[in-house]
Structure 1
Amino acid sequence: MPNRPRPEEALDFLRAELATGQSEMTEWTTRGAWLAFVRFGRWRFDTAATPDSDGLLFQYGTYAFSGRPMFTVGLTRQFDVTDDDGEHDHYVQVHCELRYEAEPDLDALGSFDSWFFTMPPPKITASTPTSSRRPPTGTRASMCAPTAPTAPTASSSATSLS
């Protein structure tokens, strides 16, 4: 699609949205990261006109991926990149993750994940997704970042499938 950014540029768009709210906060909250992700989710990228070419994933749960258990909130956007013949070539994923010290209240939330793949693109708001099991909005996040403790972790990866 002309005049739309390529999926490979999506990480820069997410980082810009996260930086928009950073000057207003000394620590990230789940709500602050979610609102940045909502703004990022509204950007339209140059993807194929198929129902699964641009997807959003919201997930949370307590996991011990790198040592001690942490309550993790993950926000991911996945793009299906096609070749010149319109066939699937690979995926590009842009991911933002918040990690919290495990606490009984957070552990009690269990785990949750939900993908949004729709055509036309989803209309997302500050309250999407709705669930009766959400992390408390007043909880502060400890961001896993390579440079600064208050900077969110945002990463991108491309995966090819044979």
Structure 2
Amino acid sequence: MTRGLSTGDAAGLIEGELGSEGRAPSDLVTEDVWLAFLRFGRRRFAVADVPDADGLLFQYGTYAFDGPSTFTLDFTRQFEICDGDGDHDHYVQVHCELGYGPVPALEALGSFDSWFFHDAENDLDEWARGLTERAAWRTIRGLRPAGIRVYQEQV
């Protein structure tokens, strides 16, 4: 296991990053949340010493999970949890989910996802830059989400 923060503290840490500028979540635009997620993404956690044990996911699309279809942008951190023998047991995912009102330009973006894994010889800043250079980012970066939800789940 690599040294670092406890994965049990992850949801609280992303919430802390969201409030680090002293602004209410309702005052944040998409780019503010993204920058908070990247600060959170740079923190290292105590994870199993296996490939892809600590990953970041950027994904969006229009979905109808709990009601009418809505455009959702989801920043997720995923940790692999291993059993006492070092074998995969489950994943813990910490989501920072942004929901938007009905906006045709957002629905037209379709869906997209991209992963980054610490210790996979990738550069976090390069990954982030590639995402913010996408045409879709220009559409969503300055929008104020209708809601921001942080939650943790076992998958």
TM interval, short-chain normalised: 0.7 to 0.9
1:139 is matched with which residue: 131, 136, 143? 143
Measured in 1, the distance between the counterparts of 2:92 and 2:112 equals 22
Residue matched to 1:156: 152
1:57 alignment partner AA? L
Quick one: distance in 1 between partners of 2:106 and 2:118? 30
Shift of 1:10: 1.1
CA contact (8 A) 1:27 1:140 kept: yes
- The TM-score, its normalising length taken from structure 2, stands at 0.85
1:105 corresponding residue in structure 2: 105
Structure 2 gap segments, 5+ residues each = none
Structure number with higher helix proportion: 2
Q: Which SS does the other structure have where 2:74 is aligned?
A: strand
CA distance in 1, matches of 2:53, 2:3: 17
**Is the CA contact (8 Å cut-off) linking 2:2 and 2:45 kept in structure 1?**
no
28-37 or 48-57, which moves further after superposition?
Answer: 48-57
Identity %: 44
Structure 1 runs of 4+ aligned residues shifted over 4 Å read: none
For 1:146, the equivalent position in structure 2 comes to none
Alignment of 1:61-100 (within 5 A): 61-100=61-100
Partners of 1:73 and 1:81 in 2: CA distance: 25
How far apart, CA to CA, are the structure 2 residues paired with 1:118 and 1:4? 13
Aligned pairs, number: 151
Q: Secondary structure at the match of 2:80?
A: strand
Is 1:18 aligned with 2:39? no
> CA, structure 1 residues 24+68, in 2 after alignment: closer, same or farther (shift >3 Å)?
closer
Mapping for residues 109-120 of structure 1, pairs under 5 Å? 109-120=109-120
Structure-2 change in CA distance of 1:77 and 1:85 (3 Å): same
Q: CA RMSD in A?
A: 2.1
Separation (CA, whole Å) in 2 of partners of 1:2 and 1:66: 37
> What SS class does the counterpart of residue 139 from structure 1 fall into?
coil
Q: One-letter code of the match for 1:77?
A: R
Task: Report the secondary structure of 1:20's partner residue.
Answer: coil
